[in-house]
Structure 1
Amino acid sequence: MARPKVSPLEKRSLKITFRVTEKQRQRLLTLADSCGTKPGDLVRTKIFKGHFPATRLPKIDEDTYVELKKIGVNLNQLTRHADSGKFPFGIDKTLAALLRQEEKILRLLLKDDSGSKER
């Protein structure tokens, strides 16, 4: 089957070129890869729609999944204790450690796209 014809108004026939540093180029390529799109499409979406395309979440391996499941079970147990009024000694340190671990996992899963403030 042939590709459908694009109307002259929708056809992208003009080219715009701009210069970037090597660091900016690498960042653009990384962002485009994490969104599953081409760099030109990424820039076009950001400029004309005002936001980046949604990022694809990377597939996590089985070990990471098992570890996240264990953390979830522990948090569920701690929540039950807290709801019943029983606060184990040192719970504040444990919760702080879990929050730090959660932030670390999220950074790894999202490939630390913290440089992009305008999502």
Structure 2
Amino acid sequence: MGRPKKEFTARKTIQVNVRMTADDYSKVSNNAETIGLSIAEFIRRKITKKSLPKKKVSPSDRKLFVELSRVGNNLNQIAKVLNSGIRDPFSIHRQLEEVKTLLQYLKSNIAHNDR
């Protein structure tokens, strides 16, 4: 038993050919691949203003985002202490060391990431 035939109005019967530069094609291709769509479906959704799926984030990238968020949080805490007028050099020094350690960890992960 075969697949039911689509109604004529639902069929994609018209083909449109588009010329673009290699740079434009590369951008469209990368964008489509990032969200897991074919190039044709990506272009179809863009021109009809239909919603696009969320970008797929690899587990390693997700881990990097979390670590960057932690670094940002530490920097905000340091700025808050400095701007409050409270001088606690040990606390600030400890937090700066933690930020330094996290940044070194992130750099090593990015350097060893096999993209």
| Partner residue, 2:64 | 64
- The structure with the greater share of residues assigned to helix is 2
Distance 1:63 1:7, change over 3 A: closer
Cα displacement (A) at 1:12: 0.5
Cα displacement (A) at 1:29: 0.6
Q: Which amino acid aligns with 1:59?
A: S
Provide the aligned C-alpha RMSD in A: 3.8
* Counterpart mapping for 1:13-28 below 5 A: 13-28=13-28
| Partner residue, 1:53 | 52
| Partner residue, 2:100 | none
Q: Which amino acid aligns with 1:30?
A: N
Q: Please say if residues 36 and 56 of structure 2, whose CA atoms lie closer than 8 Å, have aligned partners that are also in contact.
A: no
CA distance in 2, matches of 1:87, 1:8: 73
CA distance in 2, matches of 1:41, 1:4: 22
Cα displacement (A) at 1:56: 1.2
Cα displacement (A) at 1:42: 1.0
Question: Whose relative contact order is higher, 1 or 2, with alpha carbons under 8 Å and at least 6 apart?
Answer: 1
| Partner residue, 2:30 | 30
Q: Please say if residues 36 and 55 of structure 1, whose CA atoms lie closer than 8 Å, have aligned partners that are also in contact.
A: no
TM-score normalised by structure 2 residue count: 0.55
The total of aligned residue pairs comes to 90
Q: Which amino acid aligns with 1:67?
A: E
Q: Which amino acid aligns with 1:56?
A: K
Distance 1:86 1:5, change over 3 A: farther
| Partner residue, 2:108 | none
Task: From the CA coordinates, give the structure whose radius of gyration is larger.
Answer: 2
| 1:9 alignment partner, SS class | helix
Which moved further from structure 2: 37-46 or 72-81? 72-81
Q: Deviations over 1:35-93 (max 9, x none)?
A: 211111111111112x662441421428625632541541463366378x2366xx9xx
